[in-house]
Amino acid sequence: MKSPKSVIGFAVLTAVLLSACAPQTVVVTKEVEKAVEVTRVVEKVVEVEKVVEATPAPATIIKVTSTNGPDENSGTQLARHRLLTLGFKEIRPDVEIVANPSPFDASTFPARLAAGTIEDTYLVAFTEPQNMIANGYAADITDLLSKWEGFSSFNPGVLQVVQDANGRVYGLPVNGYAIGLLYNRELLKEAGLDPDKPPLTWDELRAAAKTIKEKTGKFGFQLMPATGEGGWLFTAIAYSFGANLIEKKDGKWTATYNDEATVRALTLLKEMLWEDETVKLVQDGVAAATSLTNGEAAMHIKAPDLLFWMHDNLGAKVENYGQGPMPQAGGNATLTGGAAWLFSPKASPEVLQAAVEWSLYRDFDLATYELDLKTRKERGELVGIPSLPLFTGEYQARRDEILKKYINVPLENFAPYLNATDITMKPEPPVEAQKLYTELANVLGAIASDKNADPQTVLDESVKMFQTQVLDQIK
């Protein structure tokens, strides 16, 4: 079909030519299925009015609501959302996407679901789907997904996060991460350390932190004892020492994070903080990212995707940073996780289908993926920061080929991280992970506030409380 502009131009030209030959008659036309027909003859009219609707409005609009919409103060987020919604509109003109900037909130979700005010699709951490599936908080989308070309290529280890015991699927995993060592290359060089060879063990990290403090006066490492994020990162540290934190024993979930491995991990951090004085205590993730960007601290346990935020919000230059694998102390493991879109069990079939189609288009359509990468690079955003592959086989290979065209980060700075393929990826704790992270932050706080605190005693008391007040309450 012609564009409205071209059709209008054709109508005006027709009117001018006809009026030149016969001043008393003007022909007004409209476009019907790409054909022009005469609809009426207007006597003694010199003004021509022509309106052509390029795309007929759908009889019924399907509204799809979601969490994690763009921040109204973020130009890049708004631009990306606008690009994607306009593209989806060409495929589904009958669907309107309404994205709420607020994230998923587990504490209010049950009440909102009961009241019918929950969004049609919501982004949750990998810690949430199993509990939500068990409680009926997510819709079964297996039949809708089975028709999609990439479904059979999902990494089985990732897909199981959103599956029930029968293999039915209740969500779409959209990103994955593995915690490693993010570091400021400039500070390492200033301290005489090789930024291409980051510490691979905790003993090496402790020694490097001492060197950095002695040579530069800056902190070598940092911890967050005030928020659940700090407990989440401590989980990764404990895993690298060989801890499990929570285990199922005789059919009952049991807190085990007062074991020898976790005690060793907490003891090391205490010694680095109080004896070596190489650890900077930060309030939250924003403060941690800021000190890493400003060169106040050299190393931080985190996934490499933190660089996106540091670049966009703090002006960090990606070439000044490197990523190594998680330092190890006998566990040969690190924490892995990610996020997945779940869908409301109260959504109508039409809304559910539209929500799934929107998610597939936004995150996995290959043409959309390439357009998104291209425009992100043109806007000066980072493209190519490593993440865990969600797929296997040919579909992942096609995504990788597209990505290669637009990478604008120095991949050599991430080589130590990418080459560490022998480290086990351990998922987040299987139950009550968010509550555990908060409690582990309290454990860090006890060590950070009292240099005489005994790690074993602190952990024993924490495990006793967490067992009775949290794990024993699981039905």
If residue 146 lies in a helix (H) or strand (E), which one and from where to where?
A: none
Determine the structural domain holding residue 409 and report its residue range: 138-345+357-475
pLDDT of the residue at 50: 40
Report long-range pairs for 364-367 (Cβ below 8 Å, ≥24 apart): 364/148, 364/150, 366/398, 366/399, 366/402
Distance CA 168, CA 340 (A): 15
Nearest residue to 227 (alpha-carbon basis) of 429, 432, 428, 442: 442
Q: How many domains does the chain have?
A: 2
Which range of 8-12, 74-78, 448-452 scores highest in mean pLDDT? It is: 448-452
Render pLDDT for 395-432 as a digit per residue (tens, 0 to 9): 999 999 999 999 999 999 999 999 998 899 998 998 89
Which range is least confidently modeled, 15-19, 77-81, 201-205?
15-19
Q: How far apart are CA 199 and CA 193, in angstroms?
A: 10
For 212-215, the CB contacts below 8 A with 24+ separation are 212/187, 212/188, 212/278, 212/298, 212/299, 213/276, 213/277, 213/278, 215/190, 215/191
Predicted local distance difference test score (pLDDT) of residue 59: 67
171 & 29 share domain: no
Per the domain annotation, does 152 fall within a domain? Answer: yes
The Cα–Cα gap between 175 and 163 comes to: 16
Note the pLDDT of residue 101.
93
Cα(4)–Cα(7) distance, integer angstroms = 5
Same domain, 323 and 454: yes
Please indicate, yes or no, whether residues 198 and 314 belong to a single structural domain of this protein. yes
Q: Distance between CA 199 and CA 189 in Å, rounded?
A: 14
Which residue, chain included where needed, has tokens 């637009």? 406
Top-confidence residue, 22 or 180: 180
Per-residue pLDDT, 389: 86
Average pLDDT over every residue of 380-393: 91
Q: What is the pLDDT of residues 185-234, one digit of tens each?
A: 999 999 999 999 999 999 999 999 999 999 999 999 999 999 999 999 99
The answer to whether residue 6 scores a pLDDT higher than 70 is: no
Residue-wise pLDDT for 363-376, tens only, equals 999 999 999 999 99
* pLDDT classification of 58: cutoffs 50, 70, 90: low
**Same domain (yes/no): 341, 219:** yes
Residues 334 and 438 in one domain: yes
What single letter denotes the amino acid at residue 144? L
> How is residue 183 written in tokens?
């570091």
Q: What is the pLDDT of residues 281-296, one digit of tens each?
A: 999 999 999 999 999 9
Instruction: Answer yes or no: do 38 and 167 share one domain.
Output: no
Question: Looking at residue 157, what is its pLDDT?
Answer: 83
**Spatial separation of the C-alpha atoms in residues 350 and 347, rounded to whole Å:** 8
pLDDT of 211: 98
pLDDT band at 377 (very low <50, low <70, confident <90, very high): very high
CA–CA separation, 99 and 270 (whole Å): 44
Helices and strands counted in the chain (H then E) = 18, 15
Model confidence at 31: pLDDT above 70: no
Provide mean pLDDT across the span 434-439. Answer: 95
Give a yes or no: residue 187 inside a domain. Answer: yes
The pLDDT confidence band at residue 73, using thresholds 50, 70 and 90, is confident
In a domain, 153, yes or no: yes
Cβ proximity of 201 and 267 under 8 Å = no
In a domain, 108, yes or no: no
Has residue 281 been placed in a domain? yes
Averaged confidence pLDDT in the chain: 88
Structure tokens at 387: 């993440």
261 pLDDT above the threshold of 80: yes
Whether 431 and 471 have beta carbons less than 8 Å apart is answered as: yes
Asked if 23 and 158 sit in the same domain, the reply is: no
Q: What string of DSSP letters covers 318-336? A: GGGEEEEPPPBSS--EEEE
Least confident of 71-75, 233-237, 283-287: 71-75
How far apart CA 237 and CA 235 sit, in angstroms, is 5
Confidence at residue 57, expressed as pLDDT on a 0 to 100 scale: 59
Convert the pLDDT of each residue in 306-325 to its tens digit. Answer: 999 999 899 999 999 999 99
- Pick from 63-67, 162-166, 471-475: least confident: 471-475
Residues 324-359 have pLDDT tens digits of 999 999 999 999 999 999 999 999 999 999 999 999
Same domain, 385 and 259: yes
Confidence band (pLDDT; 50, 70, 90) for 56?
low
pLDDT at 28: 36
Residue 123 in domain: no
Q: Is 222 helix (H, G, I), strand (E, B) or coil?
A: strand
Pair 309, 425 in one domain:
yes
Please state at what angle helix 260-271 crosses helix 202-216, rounded to 10 degrees: 10
Domain assignment of residue 445, yes or no = yes
In DSSP notation, 152-195 reads: GGB-HHHHGGGB-TT--B-EEEEEEEE-EEEEEHHHHHHTT--T
Percentage of the chain modeled with pLDDT above 90: 77
Query: In a 10 Å sphere around its CB, with 0-12 CB exposed, 13-18 middle and 19+ buried, how is residue 164 labelled?
Result: middle
Q: Two tokens at 328?
A: 């190890």
Q: From 220, 125, 240, select the one nearest 173 (Cα to Cα).
A: 125
Q: Are residues 26 and 143 in the same domain?
A: no
Burial 234-261 (b: 16+ CB within 10 A, else e): bbbbbbbbbbbbbeeeeeebebbbbbeb
Cα R_g (the chain), whole angstroms = 28
- Residue 19: pLDDT band (50, 70, 90) is very low
Q: Which position has the token pair 């929570």?
A: 246
pLDDT in the model for residue 65: 97
Residue 33 has pLDDT above 80, yes or no: no
**Closest of 111, 127, 118 to residue 438, by C-alpha:** 127
Q: Residue 266's pLDDT band (boundaries 50, 70, 90)?
A: very high
Q: Does 106 map to a domain?
A: no
How would DSSP label each residue in 408-427? -S-GGGGHHHHT-TTSEEEP
H or E element at residue 119: none
Which pLDDT value is given to residue 34?
39
Neighbours of 363 (CB within 10 A): 17
Please report, for the domain that includes residue 260, its CATH number.
3.40.190.10
Per-residue pLDDT band for 5 (boundaries 50, 70, 90) equals: very low
